[in-house]
Amino acid sequence: MAADQRMEASTKVTSDKFIYTWTIENYRLIKLNVGEKIESPQFGVGSDDKKYFYLRLYPAGRDAESAGYISLFLTPVIDSTNKPDKLLCRWTNSLINDKKVVGKNTDHHDFATTGFLGRGTSKIFELKNIDKLISSQNTLTIHCELEIFKEYESSLKLDIINSKEQKIDKVNLESLFLSKEFSDVKIITSNENDIPSHKNILAAASPVFKAMITHDMLENKESTIKITDSTKNIVTEMLRFIYTGQISTIETDMIIELLKVSDLYEINSLKNKCGKMLCADLSTENAIKILIAAHKYKAKYLEDEVIKFVTTHIELLSNCEEMKEIDDSIVWVNLMQSVVKSKKNVS
């Protein structure tokens, strides 16, 4: 009997989540007038493309209407010359005393539209109850749970069903990895090795591959894609990730090469995977090499993490041979700014 088809679709909203805790010590010493504020240190949210924020606290209220209350606002750090198209956030600001929430405000807003100067509440806590807010150690603690919209991820599930409603097993992409069966495109690497692959899978994984396959280019006409700046081993590992979501190597140099191809072919999930693996493998022996690669291949989260590592291992900065490897002025500026900031925090 003819089989029926049933298709299911799902869409997932992906986001970056962050919990920020700001503690103000010796709080009872603060004597500010209405409209005067205290600003928290900035904090970054996200991986490759971090978004920065800070909290604004008005201990005596933001304006005449909120006098007698504490006002609290979340403020994005936005470059007025390069405003984002979307900065959709959901957050909860909580005032904490001895692990107990004594004041709370939740909001949901797209900062790319309005609210560049921040959003929050002018009356998060009434000053007449201040003794319930300040801890026995004379501190005020604020928790900010922030979630930033990233993108929509949609997928289709196609099942073949016979007349008795019995499902046939779904296709396992892993079985197609390096398989010539049903292969409709060959990848030719620098050492002239052919690797069988599948156009639809490559196009779904990489917008660069999709362009190669879709447009009337030489690669499309000949059903070949030439990758001349990577070896067969690296390309095979890239394909392994595309087909299975796994990476078999743990060697730092190979992971850096995978980071390179993930940037070249805009495979963000592979870039994130490589970044996490390199972060886990950071050492004084490889930190500078990873820092250079992170900046070169635009892995912002990885670059920030390596800079933090270097600033806590000052011996790296005194290693002239290691430092000579850094020939990018932007990397130097970022590194030196982090060193100066860390010294200020210590002092």
DSSP codes of every residue in 123-152: EEEEGGGGGGTS-TTSEEEEEEEEEEEEEE
For residue 156, give both structure tokens: 């289709």
Between residues 140 and 301, which one has the greater pLDDT?
140
Averaged pLDDT for residues 119-124: 94
Averaged pLDDT for residues 56-65: 95
Instruction: Return the residue matching tokens 């026995």.
Output: 136
Residue 2 confidence (pLDDT) above 80: no
Residue 45 confidence (pLDDT) above 90: no
Residue 54 confidence (pLDDT) above 90: yes
Q: Which helix (H) or strand (E) holds 6?
A: strand 4-25
Query: What SS3 state is found at 287?
Result: helix
For residue 179, give both structure tokens: 């398989």
For the ranges 44-53, 157-166, 210-219, the lowest mean pLDDT is seen at 157-166
Phi, psi of 93 (to 5 degrees): -100, 130
Question: pTM here?
Answer: 0.47
Buried b (16+ CB within 10 A) or exposed e, 247-282: bebeebebbbbbbbbbbebebeebbbbbbebbbeeb
Residue 161 confidence (pLDDT) above 70: no
Instruction: Return the residue matching tokens 């959901």.
Output: 90
For residue 211, give both structure tokens: 């362009």
Buried b (16+ CB within 10 A) or exposed e, 38-64: eebeebbbbbbebbebbbbbbbbbbee
Mean pLDDT, the chain, integer: 81
pLDDT bin (cut points 50, 70, 90) of residue 69 is: very high
Outline where DSSP puts E strands in 166-219.
Answer: 185-189, 194-197
HSE, CB side, 13 Å, CA atoms: give it for residue 323. Answer: 11
Residue 203 confidence (pLDDT) above 60: yes
Averaged pLDDT for residues 274-284: 86
Nearest to 147 by CA among 19, 47, 299: 19
So what's the pLDDT on residue 345? 43
- CA–CA distances in Å: residue 233 to residues 132, 184, 191, 238: 63, 21, 10, 9
So what's the pLDDT on residue 80? 72
For residue 74, give both structure tokens: 């979340």
Averaged pLDDT for residues 151-166: 52
pLDDT bin (cut points 50, 70, 90) of residue 317 is: low
Residue 15 confidence (pLDDT) above 50: yes
For the ranges 5-9, 19-23, 223-227, the lowest mean pLDDT is seen at 5-9
Task: Write the pLDDT tens digit of every residue in 75-116.
Answer: 999 877 778 888 899 999 999 998 899 999 999 999 888 777
> How many residues comprise the chain?
347
For residue 94, give both structure tokens: 């909580």
Contact assessment for residue 88 and residue 110, using Cβ atoms and an 8 Å cutoff: yes
Averaged pLDDT for residues 302-320: 73
For the ranges 109-123, 125-139, 151-165, 225-239, the lowest mean pLDDT is seen at 151-165
Residue 3 confidence (pLDDT) above 80: no
Residue 163 confidence (pLDDT) above 50: no
DSSP 267-281: -HHHHHHHHHHHHHT
So what's the pLDDT on residue 212? 83
Distance of CA 38 to the CA centre of its chain: 28
- With a pLDDT cut of 90, the percent of the chain lying above it is 33
